[in-house]
Structure formats: C-alpha cells, structure tokens
C-alpha cells in the first residue's frame, strides 16, 4: 500500500474514531456485553491516583448515548433490548470493533510510558480553562 493510500485510510479512520469517548467505550465493552447502565457506571469508575492534578474524566449520559449511536451506525457496536422488565438495552462490540479495541490497548501502554508528554497537554488544557473562567482570553483594546 502506498503512502498516499495509507494517509487517506488514516484520515478516514480518524473520522470514524471522532467521538472522544469511543476508545473508552471500546475498552469497556472489550470484556463482553454490558447493559447501558453498567457501561455508564464502568466509564465513570476511573480511578485517578491521589495527588494527580487533572480532573477525573466524567462522561454524561447524552454523550454516551451519542457515542453508542455513532458506533452502531458504523458497525462497531450492536445492541438488543432486554425482554424482561425493566427492559434495558445491552451493548456489545462487533468483531471488527474487537480488533480495534485490541489496537487501543498498546496506545494506552504507550501513554503510560510517556506520561510526561501527556502532562504537557494537561497543563496547557488547565491553563486554557483557567483563562476562560477568568475572562483572560480577551485581548485588551487598543485605542
């Protein structure tokens, strides 16, 4: 496969992986089917080590719903309604999504090995957020 072909495919892959929580959902569902509420609980159960300076990521229900719909439309996740009350919905990965989940794990391992690089981005993100809250993004008027 040529370089341009690879770049086009990687561009298309980036679009498919667009939702920010998609890798988290892949990892969470890689252990097997889960009901919606169980998946939400799993995604909210991050254990941020004591002393870390960044906030715990918290997915909102609407974001999870959008991510799951996105994944379903692209053939990455399947779902079924339970037949018994309380009629929940169970989600699981398709075979292609399981392959993709297997590729995400080495990326997480790389991130753990190069956390210093991630810290640079965390600090920049925190600074942007601090400025936004304080109104510091406004430029002084010249006049």
Element (H, E) at 129: helix 115-134
* Count of CB atoms situated within 10 Å of the CB of 30: 16
CB 35 within 8 A of CB 87: no
Round to whole Å and give the CA distance between 101 and 103. 5
Write the pLDDT tens digit of every residue in 5-36.
888 888 888 787 777 899 999 999 999 999 99
Round to whole Å and give the CA distance between 79 and 44. 20
Q: How confident is the model at residue 74 (pLDDT cuts 50, 70, 90)?
A: very high
Q: How confident is the model at residue 50 (pLDDT cuts 50, 70, 90)?
A: low
Q: How confident is the model at residue 45 (pLDDT cuts 50, 70, 90)?
A: confident
Give me the chain's average pLDDT, please: 85
Indicate the pTM of the whole model: 0.75
């Amino acid at each position: 496969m040529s370089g341009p072909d690879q770049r086009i495919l990687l561009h298309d892959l980036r679009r498919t992986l667009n939702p920010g929580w998609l890798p988290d959902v892949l990892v969470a569902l890689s252990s097997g089917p889960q009901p919606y509420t169980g998946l939400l609980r799993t995604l909210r159960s991050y254990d941020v080590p004591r002393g870390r300076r960044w906030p715990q990521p918290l997915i909102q229900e609407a974001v999870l719903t959008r991510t799951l719909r996105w994944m379903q439309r692209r053939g990455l996740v399947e779902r079924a309604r339970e037949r018994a009350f309380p009629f929940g919905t169970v989600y699981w990965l398709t075979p292609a999504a399981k392959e993709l989940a297997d590729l995400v794990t080495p990326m997480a391992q790389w991130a753990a090995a190069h956390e210093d690089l991630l810290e640079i981005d965390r600090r920049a993100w925190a600074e942007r957020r601090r400025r936004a809250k304080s109104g510091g993004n406004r430029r002084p008027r010249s006049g």
